[in-house]
Chains A and B, each alone.
Chain A
Amino acid sequence: MSPKTTGQPASETVAPPARTLVLLCEGLAELGNGLDLDGIKQSLKNTPELRVEVVPDLCDRPTALAETTAEADDRAVVGLCSSNRSGGEFDYHARQAGLDPFGVATVNLGGLCARAHARDLATNKATVLLAAAVSRARAFPGSGPEHVKPRLGWSDGRVSRRALFTLPPITYQPVASVRANRCISKAGCDLCTVVCPRGALSVVGGKLNVDKSACDACGLCVTECPRDAVELPAASLREFEVELEALLTAPGLPKLERRAILCVCDRNVQVLEELAKQRLPYAAGWLPLRVPCTGMVSAGWILQSLALGASAVAVMACGGECAFEQRERTAATAAYCHDLLDLLGISGDRLRVLDPSSVTDLADVLNRPFGDDVVSDSPVPERACLREPTATASALMHLAEAGSGSVALRSDRSPLGVVRIDAQGCTACEACVRACPTDALACEKEGDGLAITFDPNLCTGCSLCARSCSEDVIQVEHVTDLEALSNGRTELYRDTQVRCEKCGVAFAPASMVRRVEQLLNDGGGSSPAIRRCPACRGIAIGASLEGRVQSKHQKEE
């Protein structure tokens, strides 16, 4: 069997879906309230390029993955009875089967469905979770050596010298890597380095570097980058987008009419299994969206979920110590969203912040009934977009249709910003336009006219424009301004272009020429060539120099 992963991220052109194998452990039929495995197969049968197999003892026999995978299968989804995945064994057998282990999604159907809910609800929920996992696996672009680092399973504590003679069991952990063609660190962008809790990212000489040994794959850099320039295997924005879409829109599931999204970090997902073990029921409509750290869940993710039709969204922050120290960030994001929902006239209970330290309290919060408030009469967006600031801007425009039309919320956690330019000092040099990572600022030229324009739907409030401005005339405010978003791209500054007095070509904004003249005058100098284009100016200066040389020679003679 030949390997099927290329090691190269897939291109973004639309390709046919990767052929996917879904394996279900036969034990799920009898576990807890049981799952109707035939019903699941039936529900998934119309999914193109998909094969579903029920395998006896799959949970204890990872070899089944290699045995069942066919030559044509590119991705796999494994439905297990519990979260106790056999460490690197599935990865080992995935590689043997020619699959990329990061493209193999495992779903704990036992803990999340069979043990937690009545049989029909559990079966419906399992189908949705599998459909979402299939979508996510298919969106996985493949991994290469730059995307992973090995972790050696030496036992905790001191290791004996003899232990060195044996390479301990090895597992691979994803690490962030940079898409150089999208990254604009050269233009001064360092947003990802600021947010990284491990200091794994740094810009040296305009180039973004990743210290693999320091990266712990929290995913914050993935969300923070407005250009989608950071890759993290199995945690790309595209994978989360298709998973979210599938969780909320997978069809044919009458028992799960009310669906809600539960953003939970990988370290806390077992808390949901604990609810089932302690026989604490909760609404089956809560569908987990697993993330490396809830710190990567931006406001846009929450608002997009609601815009896509989620009855509610919950974010389960870490109860004790957050491995990445992101509890405050998660809480601040939730507070911003609550304020925004309040201004929009949407019930704050549509966003719930969960504390996993008490499972009974957790069950209480999850069991609060979903509200009946209708968010919008307009059709649900077809696609999720999780890249900020578009994620927040587009969701907000959708949600606001049923709420207040005029909302302006100032908050440091606003994923959106507004740029203002002091027209008195701007020279239209375009440094801000070049520095803007999202093309929120643009320079539009027509005839002799020139305009610096701004689209608040694209602004993250990163302030790179203000940092780049040599005249210090740019102010950036972290504000979510619905009116500004509705207006779209507007003009911030208008000027005319000066034409060369010699050849007539337009060569510079009038304000810039005036500024240079002013600087020269202040310095006691002047230049007759200031109103000429660079080429004609060069000729003029050259002629002037030549004249001076000739004059000097004549004097000497």
Chain B
Amino acid sequence: MAVSRNGHLAQERSRRKQTRRDGSMPMLELASFREGAYRLFSQALLYPADERLAALATATEELDQDEDVLAQFAFFADWRRVLARLRDVGGPRRDLEEQHVALFGASKAGTLCPPYESAFLSPSGQPDGLLMARVEAAYSEIGIAPSPETGELPDHIAIELEFMAMLCGQEAAAWEADDVAGAVKAMRRAKRFLDGHLLVWLPRFARLLAAADRDGFYRTVSEGAAAFVLYDRDLLAAFLEGLSRISDAPPEDRSNGAQVMS
């Protein structure tokens, strides 16, 4: 799965100035921000390799410029808390590596905070084939599969967040191409994935991490991600609910690859 669309995000920065004084905001701009945010959370929860930390620092710097626009959203406080923590990421890398291994690494006693959906939803707490297949089926709906290079299972927290980033990217591309149906389709997929996967386990993962990592980097990131995901789900729900008031809104699409109005 590709993980770099930050260029697209940078291109959209100039468009953000379009935000009107009445608080309205182009959907393209919002989708691009959400793409960047999901990717930021995803990257922050992966192993803190040098190049990843450098990319995080760049992304944080870029997203940090959006304060004026983002203060209209309720997730702003949590978002600022995450960015404040990410700004410190340039500190001793060794500490972060040790924290990551201690929290997410396997040991004889098991994993302190397993970052996998299976660990929370499978009765055994072990990788679950059926559950994994469901996650992969969601990925395959948009024709993607996790890259073997990541070395992670499909239900890893970072892979699921990256998938959300890609859906937001698809939505942004659709808005840019004036393709309302495509954008709405991506939003409905995103909401379904949040309801069916991330929202079911990410809050529990964040609580577990909060107990294990009392004042650490990963606690802040996971709590921020859990809050962002819930706010985002409600925002998608409010937008999609509003479609019922639009005479020629795209119809609900529940099947894989079904055609919708263009």
Is A481 in contact with chain B by the CB < 8 A criterion?
A: no
Is B180 in contact with chain A by the CB < 8 A criterion?
A: yes
Q: Is the CB of A150 within 8 A of B74?
A: yes
What residues of B have a CB within 8 angstroms of the CB of A100 in the complex? 77
Q: Is the CB of A95 within 8 A of B77?
A: yes
Is A163 in contact with chain B by the CB < 8 A criterion?
A: yes
Tell me whether A5 and B22 are in contact in the complex, defined as CB-CB below 8 angstroms, given that A92-B72, A149-B234 are known contacts: no
Is B89 in contact with chain A by the CB < 8 A criterion?
A: no
From A140-148, A352-360, A380-388, A533-541, the one touching the partner chain is A140-148
Q: Is the CB of B84 within 8 A of A170?
A: no
How many chain B residues touch A (CB < 8 A): the figure is 42
Is B65 in contact with chain A by the CB < 8 A criterion?
A: no
Is B235 in contact with chain A by the CB < 8 A criterion?
A: yes
- By Cβ-Cβ distance, the 5 closest A-B pairs, closest first, are A145-B230, A169-B23, A3-B77, A167-B25, A95-B71
| B interface, CB within 8 angstroms of A | 22-28, 30, 67, 71-78, 80-81, 84, 175, 178, 180, 183-184, 223, 227, 230-231, 234-235, 237-239, 241-243, 245-249
A-B pairs with beta carbons under 8 Å apart, 27 shown: A3-B76, A7-B77, A7-B227, A88-B23, A88-B72, A95-B77, A96-B67, A96-B71, A145-B74, A145-B75, A145-B78, A145-B230, A148-B234, A150-B238, A152-B238, A152-B239, A158-B247, A160-B246, A164-B180, A164-B184, A164-B243, A164-B246, A165-B178, A166-B26, A166-B27, A167-B26, A170-B235
Tell me whether A152 and B175 are in contact in the complex, defined as CB-CB below 8 angstroms, given that A92-B72, A165-B28, A168-B24 are known contacts: no
Is A212 in contact with chain B by the CB < 8 A criterion?
A: yes
Tell me whether A163 and B246 are in contact in the complex, defined as CB-CB below 8 angstroms, given that A150-B235, A213-B237 are known contacts: yes
Q: How far is the CA of A166 from the CA of B23 in the complex (A)?
A: 10
Q: For A170, give its contact among B23, B81, B175, B230 (CB under 8 Å).
A: B23
Known pairs A91-B72, A164-B249 / 4 extra A-B pairs, C-beta < 8 Å: A95-B74, A159-B245, A166-B26, A172-B74
What residues of A have a CB within 8 angstroms of the CB of B28 in the complex? 165
Closest chain A residue, CB of each to CB of B180: A164
| Residue interface mask A174-218, B partner, CB < 8 A = 1 | 000000000000000000000000000000000000001100000
| A interface, CB within 8 angstroms of B | 2-3, 5, 7, 88-89, 91-93, 95-96, 98, 100, 143-146, 148-154, 157-161, 163-170, 172, 212-213
Specify which of B24, B72, B178, B231 lies most central, judged by the most chain A CB atoms within 10 Å of its CB.
Answer: B72
Q: Is the CB of A166 within 8 A of B24?
A: yes
Tell me whether A95 and B237 are in contact in the complex, defined as CB-CB below 8 angstroms, given that A158-B247, A169-B22, A170-B23 are known contacts: no
What residues of A have a CB within 8 angstroms of the CB of B80 in the complex? 2-3, 98
Tell me whether A149 and B238 are in contact in the complex, defined as CB-CB below 8 angstroms, given that A2-B81, A7-B227, A167-B25 are known contacts: yes
What residues of B have a CB within 8 angstroms of the CB of A149 in the complex? 234, 238
What residues of A have a CB within 8 angstroms of the CB of B242 in the complex? 152, 154, 159
What residues of A have a CB within 8 angstroms of the CB of B245 in the complex? 154, 157-159
What residues of B have a CB within 8 angstroms of the CB of A96 in the complex? 67, 71
What residues of B have a CB within 8 angstroms of the CB of A154 in the complex? 242, 245
Q: Is the CB of B74 within 8 A of A164?
A: no
Q: Is the CB of A170 within 8 A of B246?
A: no
What residues of A have a CB within 8 angstroms of the CB of B77 in the complex? 3, 5, 7, 95, 98, 100
A377 to chain B, nearest CB (A): 50
Main secondary structure of the interface of A (DSSP, over half): mixed
Q: How far is the CA of A166 from the CA of B227 in the complex (A)?
A: 24
Q: Is the CB of B175 within 8 A of A165?
A: yes
Main secondary structure of the interface of B (DSSP, over half): helix
What residues of A have a CB within 8 angstroms of the CB of B84 in the complex? 2
What residues of B have a CB within 8 angstroms of the CB of A164 in the complex? 27, 180, 183-184, 243, 246, 249
What residues of B have a CB within 8 angstroms of the CB of A158 in the complex? 245-247
What residues of A have a CB within 8 angstroms of the CB of B23 in the complex? 88-89, 92, 153, 169-170
What residues of A have a CB within 8 angstroms of the CB of B71 in the complex? 92-93, 95-96
What residues of A have a CB within 8 angstroms of the CB of B180 in the complex? 161, 164-165
B262 to chain A, nearest CB (A): 12
Q: Is the CB of A167 within 8 A of B30?
A: yes
A89 to chain B, nearest CB (A): 8
Q: How far is the CA of A168 from the CA of B223 in the complex (A)?
A: 28
Q: How far is the CA of A49 from the CA of B230 in the complex (A)?
A: 34
Q: Is the CB of A145 within 8 A of B227?
A: yes
What residues of A have a CB within 8 angstroms of the CB of B67 in the complex? 96
Q: Is the CB of B74 within 8 A of A148?
A: yes
A127 to chain B, nearest CB (A): 31
Q: Is the CB of B30 within 8 A of A7?
A: no
B60 to chain A, nearest CB (A): 15
Q: Is the CB of A161 within 8 A of B234?
A: no
Q: How far is the CA of A143 from the CA of B28 in the complex (A)?
A: 28
Q: How far is the CA of A211 from the CA of B131 in the complex (A)?
A: 26
What residues of B have a CB within 8 angstroms of the CB of A213 in the complex? 237, 241
Q: How far is the CA of A165 from the CA of B249 in the complex (A)?
A: 12
Closest chain A residue, CB of each to CB of B227: A145
What residues of B have a CB within 8 angstroms of the CB of A98 in the complex? 77, 80
What residues of A have a CB within 8 angstroms of the CB of B73 in the complex? 170
Q: Is the CB of B76 within 8 A of A95?
A: yes
Closest chain B residue, CB of each to CB of A148: B74
What residues of A have a CB within 8 angstroms of the CB of B248 in the complex? 161
Q: How far is the CA of A160 from the CA of B237 in the complex (A)?
A: 19
What residues of B have a CB within 8 angstroms of the CB of A5 in the complex? 77
Q: Is the CB of B234 within 8 A of A159?
A: no
B149 to chain A, nearest CB (A): 33
Closest chain B residue, CB of each to CB of A5: B77
What residues of A have a CB within 8 angstroms of the CB of B237 in the complex? 212-213
Q: How far is the CA of A186 from the CA of B175 in the complex (A)?
A: 46
A174 to chain B, nearest CB (A): 11
Q: How far is the CA of A258 from the CA of B230 in the complex (A)?
A: 48
Closest chain B residue, CB of each to CB of A212: B234
Q: How far is the CA of A503 from the CA of B28 in the complex (A)?
A: 76
Q: How far is the CA of A529 from the CA of B28 in the complex (A)?
A: 75
Q: How far is the CA of A152 from the CA of B24 in the complex (A)?
A: 10
A298 to chain B, nearest CB (A): 30
Tell me whether A150 and B227 are in contact in the complex, defined as CB-CB below 8 angstroms, given that A98-B77, A161-B248, A170-B23 are known contacts: no
Q: For A167, give its contact among B27, B81, B223, B227 (CB under 8 Å).
A: B27
Closest chain A residue, CB of each to CB of B28: A165
A213 to chain B, nearest CB (A): 6
B92 to chain A, nearest CB (A): 22
What residues of B have a CB within 8 angstroms of the CB of A166 in the complex? 24-27
Closest chain A residue, CB of each to CB of B233: A145
Q: Is the CB of B24 within 8 A of A169?
A: yes
Tell me whether A150 and B234 are in contact in the complex, defined as CB-CB below 8 angstroms, given that A95-B76, A160-B246, A169-B22 are known contacts: yes
Q: How far is the CA of A146 from the CA of B203 in the complex (A)?
A: 11
What residues of B have a CB within 8 angstroms of the CB of A88 in the complex? 23, 72
Closest chain A residue, CB of each to CB of B236: A150
Q: How far is the CA of A157 from the CA of B245 in the complex (A)?
A: 7
